[in-house]
A and B are shown apart, each in its own frame.
Chain A
Amino acid sequence: MEDFSFLNPGSRQIDFDNFDDRLLLYVLEYEPSFVTCISCGGCTATCSAGNLTNFNVRKIGLWLRRGETEKLSQEIEKCMFCGKCTLVCPRDINIRNVILLIKKRISELKTENQPV
């Protein structure tokens, strides 16, 4: 029988029961201000990288919260660390540091030979 993917929606659903919090917990430990993000998109609008590529800072935060480690490890390379996102954030989150921490943790996990 043909395998219709809609009969197996598991792949499309956000699976909170198998939530990968390895990055999120690390970021919140060193940059607790991240917890206050309201996804206003101010960061994305001003982002130097986001104007040239499909890089989206707000989505980085969203993926971090949803435990999308694999997506993050690819996307995060596009950031140029200019820090404009941090300047416009109405919640005063050090977004630049959030990205730096994600990068750091990912490289740690890679050296520990853990899947990212």
Chain B
Amino acid sequence: MNRFLPDVLIHTTEMMKNKHVAVIGGGIAGMEAASVLARQGLKVTLVEKQKATGGKLNDWHHLFPDFSSPGVVVENLDKKTVRAGVNVVCHTEISHIERNNGRFELSDQRDVKIFADAVIVASGFHVFDATLKEEYGYGLFSNVITSVDFERRMKKHGKLLTLQGTEPRRVAIIHCVGSRDAKVGNIYCSKVCCITGIKQAIEINKMLPECEVFCFYMDLRLYGSKFDSLYLEAQKRHKIQFIRGRLSEAAERPDKSLQLKAEDTLQGRPLRMNVDLVILLVGMEPALSNSSLMRNNQMKPDENGFFRSVNMHEARNVGTQEGIFMAGTAICPMAVNETLENARSAALEVMNFLRTDKNHGGF
């Protein structure tokens, strides 16, 4: 028995070396899952549609709740994937996954074909298109921006100005844009927007101490263990004001400032407010590529359009097609730390699957 166990391990390690895993999506989930698998000795190909890996984090300025740098996270993941020997293929957008003779065939719009024993879908999320909420005026009024625009502007210019080039004296941050909204078809909560709003409110206050910042919310959902302390800090140290009421509509005034209409539901009266800048906290939607990735296999969407798991408690990463796994925000909205943990668990599920793969004589 004592001699048997190591033999089995050696056998599996040898067997695993010949296994090939394809990871779709070079965001943080894909990078983490790919590097973990490669470190375990598997052959891994990471496929990314953009010119470089890193995904949406390449656009973010600071991460909640600690204001750390997303660039450092991406850089470390890049190093890990290279060191582990992951084969990274950029400029390639996989649109089909088919299963033939127990193996998967991945293809893009051109002629690229990748064969794999298991697949991890880490296709991420799509940012809600705020122009769909016409009454908020995104795309119509130049001083209405999204939380994503805020991150990009801060990263690029390091400051926040109105379109006229002036420093805003009053900013409104609007929660739940594209989330918990039956009118746009998204009834779920995107989970990360509340804390993003508080993070951005604090950043504005640090940059422009004279600027008043108001958050309009329906419910504040600060689910993380360190999120509520940031909320407290926003109230105590940064004088951020929280108004419980959903923005009903925004209108542009001749001087390009915006008039907001909401109800202060705690006062029980309609409220009107003029602000220089509006930030819409846009939610997460299923990635646009999801439907084509599900087309030629047994993968299914869940009620919100994300990839359906076999079991949301015990097999979150396991897709409804045997051999296809999911990692990160392809499953549901999640924060950076959750995404990385989720990706590692996806890698473990893949290892277990390949070890017990009937076609390859596992045990």
Chain A residues close to B by CB (< 8 Å): 38-47, 50-51, 54, 56, 58-59, 87-92
Are A40's CB and B265's CB within 8 A?
yes
The 8 Å CB contact of B271, one of A45, A59, A87, A88, is A45
Whether B269 pairs with A56 at a CB distance below 8 angstroms is yes
B110 within 8 A of A: no
A59 to B248, alpha carbons, bound, how many Å? 16
Q: A43 to B268, alpha carbons, bound, how many Å?
A: 12
Among B183, B218, B262, contact of A45 (Cβ-Cβ < 8 Å): B262
User: Is B261 in contact with chain A by the CB < 8 A criterion?
Assistant: yes
Given known contacts A42-B263, A46-B249, is B181 in contact with A90 (CB within 8 Å)? yes
Q: How far is the CB of A65 from chain B (nearest CB, A)?
A: 15
Query: Given A38-B218, A41-B245, does the pair A88, B262 have CB atoms closer than 8 Å?
Result: no
A87 to B181, CA, bound (A): 12
Complex alpha-carbon distance, A45 and B263, angstroms: 5
Q: Do A46 and B261 touch across chains, with their CB atoms under 8 A apart?
A: yes
- Provide the residues of chain A in CB contact with B244, threshold 8 Å: 41
Residue of A nearest to B245 (CB): A41
Q: List 24 A-B contacts (CB under 8 A).
A: A38-B218, A39-B265, A40-B218, A40-B263, A41-B246, A41-B263, A42-B245, A42-B248, A44-B265, A45-B246, A46-B248, A46-B261, A47-B270, A54-B269, A58-B268, A88-B135, A88-B246, A88-B248, A89-B182, A90-B176, A90-B181, A90-B183, A90-B246, A92-B183
Question: Chain A residues with Cβ under 8 A from B247's Cβ?
Answer: 42, 45
Q: How far is the CB of B274 from chain A (nearest CB, A)?
A: 15
What residue of chain B has the Cβ atom nearest to residue A57's Cβ?
B263
Report the minimum CB–CB distance from A33 to chain B (whole Å). 9
Question: Interface residues, chain B, CB within 8 Å of chain A?
Answer: 135, 176, 180-183, 218-219, 244-249, 261-265, 268-271
| Among candidates A38, A40, A45, A87, residue contacting B270 with C-beta atoms closer than 8 Å | A45
Q: Name 16 extra pairs, CB < 8 A, besides A45-B262, A45-B263.
A: A40-B246, A41-B245, A41-B262, A42-B246, A42-B263, A43-B248, A44-B265, A44-B270, A45-B245, A56-B268, A87-B135, A88-B246, A89-B183, A90-B176, A90-B180, A90-B183
Q: Is the interface of A mostly helix, strand, loop or mixed?
A: loop
A42 to B268, CA, bound (A): 12
Question: In the complex, A5 Cα to B181 Cα: how many Å?
Answer: 44
In the assembled complex, the CB of B115 is this many whole angstroms from the nearest CB of chain A, namely: 46
Distance in angstroms from A9 CB to nearest chain B CB is 22
Contact B245 A40 (CB under 8 A): yes
Residues of B with C-beta under 8 A to A40: 218, 245-246, 263, 265
Partner of B263, one of A38, A54, A58, A91: A58
Question: Cβ of B269: which chain A residues have Cβ within 8 Å of it?
Answer: 54, 56
**Most chain B C-beta atoms within 10 Å of own C-beta, residue among A38, A39, A45, A59:** A45
Cβ of B263 and Cβ of A44 under 8 Å apart?
yes
Nearest opposing residue in chain A for B262, CB measure: A45
In the assembled complex, the Cα of A1 lies from the Cα of B248 at a distance in Å of 52
Out of A51, A58, A87, which one reaches B265, CB within 8 Å? A58
Closest to B249 in A: A46
| Contact status B268-A59, CB under 8 Å | yes
In the complex, what distance in Å separates the CA atom of A13 from the CA atom of B48?
61
What chain A residues lie within 8 Å of B246 (beta carbons)? Answer: 40-42, 45, 88, 90
**How many whole Å from A52's CB to the nearest CB in chain B?**
10
- A44, B271: Cα distance in complex, Å: 9
C-alpha gap A45/B135 in the complex (Å): 13
Q: How far is the CB of B22 from chain A (nearest CB, A)?
A: 39
User: CA–CA, A58 to B245, complex, Å?
Assistant: 11
User: How far apart are B181's CB and chain A's nearest CB, in angstroms?
Assistant: 4
Q: Report the minimal beta-carbon distance from A116 to chain B, rounded to whole angstroms.
A: 23
Q: Chain B residues with Cβ under 8 A from A51's Cβ?
A: 270
Which residues of chain A are within 8 angstroms of B249 by Cβ–Cβ distance? 45-46, 88
Complex CA gap A90/B270 in Å reads 17
Q: How far is the CA of A13 from the CA of B279 in the complex (A)?
A: 40
When distances are taken between beta carbons in the complex, the residues of chain A under 8 Å from B181 are 90
B contact residues around A90 at 8 Å (CB): 176, 180-183, 218, 246
Distance in angstroms from A35 CB to nearest chain B CB is: 13
